[in-house]
A and B are shown apart, each in its own frame.
Chain A
Amino acid sequence: MTLTQQDIDREIAAEHVAYEKRVADGAPVEHHPRRDYAPYRSSMLRHPKRTPVAIDLGKDPEAVELHSPAFGERDITEIDNDLTRQHAGEPIGERITVSGRLLDRDGRPVRGQLIEIWQANSAGRYAHQREQHDAPLDPNFTGVGRTLSDDEGRYHFTTIQPGPYPWRQHLNAWRPAHIHFSVFGTAFTQRLVTQMYFPSDPLFPYDPIIQSVTDDAARQRLIATYDHSLSVPEFSMGYHWDIVLDGPRATWMEEGR
């Protein structure tokens, strides 16, 4: 039997009710998705069934996980954060700028760390060989960028507004427009891969991937804010998105990092 959007809607609603009940019964707020979120079918065979083994790094301050790989100027080129300038011609679509700050749980800037992004083009197609969505490729847009956070933790990308796209999990399944982010902190424990969404997307309620974040406030933290002061006159729409890294880190680390 064909899996319909209505089937998925019912499952999403049930997961949401179950989460609200857990919190009402005193369980902690969940900032991240559960790995076993059935409305996203691909999770079913790919999540561990056993509880992760906890390691208290406070008892092992030398652990390598409290450090992070280093990235530097050699690992980026000047135009890697401008996805509109990587080909001979201009990509098609609405130009946008996305900027924000990379922060730790104490609100302190995370400096000099690698931020990588990738996304679909304005028609909703990735420049990836296995992507078979019947929408045009743009010869002037690869949709891949990277940058280092600056001394105040800030980052900045110029790109094209990505389009929504169908993904065949169920009949009429569409992903809301998003940009994938991969981020490093000062500790490997803070590693984060996530997706940034755009304000007021009508597809949010139907998408089991964004809905896998069952906490309403946490889900809002995946959505960028339109910021008119970041829009560039005669050029682009501006969005602001701060990223807060989770996970323990070495708070005693040397100054200047």
Chain B
Amino acid sequence: MTKIDTSRPETVLPTPSHTVGPFYGHALPFPGGGDVAPAGHPDTIALHGYVYDGNGDPVPDALVELWGPDPDGEVPRVDGSMRRDPATGGFLGRNGVEFTGFGRIATDANGHWSARTLRPGTRGRGAPHLSVCVFARGLLVHLFTRIYLPDDQAALAADPLLSRLDEERRGTLVAGDRGNGTYRFDIRLQGEGETVFLEFR
């Protein structure tokens, strides 16, 4: 059953998703996973927030992945997010110079995550944003959302996704400006203020 006959495209069907479970912490997170911005880059922003469940309790075992363009709107094509050390078998960390655009952060015991990355530039039809993928124990299929920055209200008003949403729902996708290039973005998996999650077609 799990040898796919690629000569018969109608039999090529997707592998089902499963939960990441509780015990990925020694496997998926890597040192510097949230330090996406090259050291000292002037377009660096800090993003942080909490992940909450349907009771409003923080989720201490969620994994947040970030993926976004550089400040010019270009998609990074450079590898090296999780460089390995062939001598020790451990992690080397990023090289501090190149921008891979990819971050991976596990929430801490308070359900909090944080990352430093570069301010995304405009590309495509939308206002500048980062793509977010959320995994957790209990979540059988990961969830996609987007983080929009609040800086350019005209661009946000013209965004094809945001303009389809009512005010309250729209607000869940726009990070809060906390000054000094720091933005707050909470992810509510269920219930009041539930984050807008996306299905791509």
Contacts and interface: CB of A to CB of B under 8 A. Distances in A.
A65 interface: yes
A225 B1 contact: yes
Which of A46, A193, A246: most chain B CB closer than 10 A? A46
B20 A31 contact: no
A77 interface: yes
A111 interface: no
A105 B14 contact: yes
B2 A221 contact: yes
Nearest to A188: B67
Contacts of A60: 124-126, 160
Contact count band on B: 35 or more
A9 B144 CA distance: 31
A43 B57 CA distance: 14
A198 B83 CA distance: 32
A143 B26 CA distance: 9
Given A45-B53, A107-B6, A221 B16 contact: yes
Contact of B4 (A40, A48, A103): A103
B133 interface: yes
A133 to B, nearest CB: 10
Interface in A185-233: 188-189, 191-195, 209-210, 212-213, 217-225
B199 interface: yes
Contact of B27 (A40, A77, A180, A217): A180
Contacts of B81: 69, 71, 75
Interface in B157-201: 160-161, 164-165, 189-191, 194-201
B40 interface: no
Contact of A221 (B1, B83, B196): B1
B15 interface: yes
Contact of A62 (B2, B101, B123, B137): B123
A134 to B, nearest CB: 15
Interface in A25-74: 31-35, 37, 40, 42-50, 52-65, 67-74
A144 interface: yes
A80 interface: yes
A72 B144 CA distance: 24
B138 A62 contact: no
B27 A118 contact: yes
A240 B1 CA distance: 10
B23 A69 contact: no
Nearest to B128: A64
Contacts of B160: 59-60
Given A48-B143, A69-B67, A188-B67, A180 B20 contact: yes
Which of B120, B140, B144, B198: most chain A CB closer than 10 A? B140
Contacts of A105: 12, 14
Which of B15, B24, B25: most chain A CB closer than 10 A? B15
A181 to B, nearest CB: 9
B153 interface: no
A50 B139 CA distance: 15
B126 A45 contact: no
Contact of B54 (A46, A56, A131, A144): A46
Contacts of A255: none
Contacts of A74: 79-80, 83-84
A43 to B, nearest CB: 5
Contacts of B22: 128, 130
Contacts of B197: 48, 50, 52-53
Given A32-B16, A43-B139, A195-B21, 16 more contacts: A45-B57, A53-B198, A55-B200, A63-B123, A63-B124, A67-B75, A68-B67, A74-B83, A86-B89, A120-B23, A144-B26, A188-B133, A193-B18, A209-B140, A218-B13, A247-B200
